[in-house]
Amino acid sequence: MAKLFSKLFAKKEEGEEAKKKSFGKGMVIGVIVAVIILVVVLLIVFGGKMFGKKPAVDGTVDASLKYTIVTSKACGDKCWDTGLFFEVLQQAGAKEKSRTTVYIEDKKGQDLVEKFKITQVPTILVAGDIDKDEQLTGFFSALGETIDKTFVLRQVIPPYINAASGQLKGEVAVTFITDNSCAECYDVNLHQTSLANFGVPIANSRTVDAASDEGKSLIEKYNITKVPTIVISGQPDEYQSLKSIWATVGKVADDGTYVFTNLDEMGGSYYDLEKKKVVEAAPATDTPAE
């Protein structure tokens, strides 16, 4: 785990070109191991807020921990998977003494929300040997705060429930706009992989052809000039990683919808609606890692 953390925290690319490269990599990099998913998502979703903290957890953590998951009955399978958090600590070597789940709709849950000033759920409270290990202390300090000898996870990953209003935040829908007449155009479904690797789950999706009535309506509404592409509606702003790079790969419409416009980033062919011809995009190039 130490190598994983050092690799993730060691260096952050700067500038607009680095952001664009990050988006391009997101389209082809498959995130498989659950522990990597959580760390990457924590890093990505919160826009690099954890950089500079440099917590190192290497599998030698000597601590016994008690977990309390504070969540909402409204979450169902819509909210983020808290199990990934436990995977990280388990891989780090921490021992799980107990794990309980409390709902904010119940009296005990309401008491915890008030005591620990919880605003977003699911979140996790950790008690026990939270300050016994320096590595663990650094990890916790990057992700939340300690109140009354209990760690409170503040860096909650979307989608989540607003504890005060009960509203689900971070749900997004994606419309894939294809061009069925363009056999050589890039596969628009690549965007689905990209969004997943940026920690953005898709609640609803649909595919429309650019030549259909609905496709024409979307093209006119969002002034789309190249296809295939995607439009992301809902609450994409909840994902700081996506929000921080979007200006380099797309635009934000007046209604808050994200529209992908920089099709050259896909490294494949696309159809230019204004020029009425297929454009072969130059393959994306990566700078070798130092």
Any idea what the CATH number is for the domain that residue 125 is in? Answer: 3.40.30
pTM: 0.75
Provide long-range contacts, Cβ within 8 A and 24+ apart, for 43-46.
Answer: 43/8, 44/198, 44/199, 44/241, 45/157, 45/158, 45/198, 45/199, 45/239, 45/240, 45/241, 46/155, 46/240, 46/241
Q: How confident is the model at residue 45 (pLDDT cuts 50, 70, 90)?
A: very low
The predicted structure's pLDDT at residue 26: 47
93 found inside a domain: yes
135 found inside a domain: yes
Name the residue with higher pLDDT: 218 or 20: 218
Statement to judge: residues 80 and 134 lie in one domain? yes
* Span 128-174, pLDDT tens digits: 999 988 888 888 888 999 999 999 999 898 999 999 999 999 999 99
Identify the domain containing residue 229 by its residue range: 170-280
Which one, of 260, 249, 197, lies nearest residue 26 by Cα?
Answer: 197
Q: How confident is the model at residue 56 (pLDDT cuts 50, 70, 90)?
A: very low
The 3-state DSSP class for residue 277 equals: strand
Statement to judge: residues 144 and 221 lie in one domain? no
**Edge to edge, what strands does the sheet with 168-169 contain?**
120-121, 160-162, 168-169
Q: How confident is the model at residue 84 (pLDDT cuts 50, 70, 90)?
A: confident
Share of the chain above pLDDT 70, in %: 76
Q: What are the residues facing 161 on neighbouring strands?
A: 121, 168
195 found inside a domain: yes
Name the residue with higher pLDDT: 252 or 39: 252
Give mean pLDDT, residues 19-43. 43
228 found inside a domain: yes
Angle at 119 between CA 118 and CA 121, to 5 degrees: 85
- Tokens 């993730």 -> residue: 8
Give mean pLDDT, residues 264-272. 92
The count of domains in the chain is: 2
Distances, alpha carbon 25 to alpha carbons 13, 29, 74, in Å: 13, 6, 34
List the single range of 7-11, 118-122, 273-277 with lowest mean pLDDT: 7-11
Which one, of 129, 121, 142, 131, lies nearest residue 56 by Cα?
Answer: 142
Of 104, 131, 162, the position where a domain reaches its end is 162
The 3-state DSSP class for residue 151 equals: strand
Which one, of 206, 256, 209, 259, lies nearest residue 231 by Cα?
Answer: 259
Which one, of 73, 74, 83, lies nearest residue 168 by Cα?
Answer: 74
Statement to judge: residues 150 and 213 lie in one domain? no
Which amino acid, 268? G
